[in-house]
Chains A and B, each alone.
Chain A
């Protein structure tokens, strides 16, 4: 019961700790990497924990569009 959920949780914890560790590195591209890792976590929570993977394609496209637009705007402005 919940094997996929458990794997997702471990994946999320690894990404969270990785994000905190790489933020210490001073490099121009670290900011982009931090945002990409945040986007991965966001996708994992919405598709696995919130079961969006079972939803109609419309909802999947909507959440991914929001995420892509958000990350793109932050990268462009930053």
Chain B
């Protein structure tokens, strides 16, 4: 049994590491400020925001939320297994984490394709400018997260891959969930 060596109750050692948590807060602040400004701007064009919001596919948004949450669920299980049985146990659930993350990107690509085909690209309206900027910025994070998870999976056997590295990777991946949990209601449901 490989128990955690780090005391997470220590203010300097939150799960995932302090540096990652600083990044998480910076990211949350960035998306948070952008969303607050978007809502502020919507007051000038409420009808345009409402009509544009209705052009988004809520079912796609909901399924993508389920994909990301399920991916996060398998990531959390992976970390739990690793903390009990060692990092080799990551191989049990990490592929499912990567699979559901990839499904998110696949459905997002379908959604983007449909929007572009319908002429709802960047520049169509203020709402769609925010939609593209915020969701594309989030998609970049998901792609980076998947690359990190794949590199963790490939490097499990390496001595240099520590449990702290894996916990930091998991925290980054969950951050993608957190951001999406703000984007989905704000873009797809609110206006």
Within the complex, what minimum Cβ distance (angstroms) separates A30 from chain B? 9
Is the pair A5, B11 in contact by a Cβ cutoff of 8 Å? no
Q: Kindly state whether residue B2 has any CB partner on chain A within 8 Å.
A: no
Q: Please count how many residues in chain A sit with their CB below 8 Å of the partner chain's CB atoms.
A: 39
Q: Please count how many residues in chain B sit with their CB below 8 Å of the partner chain's CB atoms.
A: 48
Contact residues of B: prevailing secondary structure: helix
Q: Kindly state whether residue B189 has any CB partner on chain A within 8 Å.
A: yes
- List which B48-91 residues lie within 8 A (CB) of chain A: 58-59, 61-62, 65-66, 69-70, 72-73, 75-77, 79-81, 84
Within the complex, what minimum Cβ distance (angstroms) separates A27 from chain B? 13
A77 and B77 contact, Cβ closer than 8 Å, known pairs A13-B69, A23-B189, A66-B32: no
- List which A8-55 residues lie within 8 A (CB) of chain B: 8-9, 12-13, 16-17, 19-20, 23, 31, 34-35, 37-38, 41-42, 45-46, 48-52, 54-55
Is the pair A54, B36 in contact by a Cβ cutoff of 8 Å? no
B-side residues, CB < 8 A to A, are 8-11, 14-16, 21, 25, 28-29, 32, 35-36, 39-40, 42-43, 58-59, 61-62, 65-66, 69-70, 72-73, 75-77, 79-81, 84, 170-171, 174, 177-178, 181-182, 184-186, 188-190
Question: What are 28 pairs between A and B in contact, CB < 8 Å?
Answer: A2-B77, A2-B80, A6-B73, A9-B69, A13-B70, A16-B65, A16-B66, A20-B58, A20-B62, A20-B189, A23-B188, A41-B69, A45-B72, A45-B177, A45-B181, A49-B177, A50-B76, A50-B174, A52-B14, A52-B15, A54-B8, A55-B8, A56-B8, A56-B14, A59-B21, A70-B35, A70-B36, A78-B190
A-side residues, CB < 8 A to B, are 1-2, 5-6, 8-9, 12-13, 16-17, 19-20, 23, 31, 34-35, 37-38, 41-42, 45-46, 48-52, 54-56, 58-59, 62, 66, 70, 73-74, 77-78
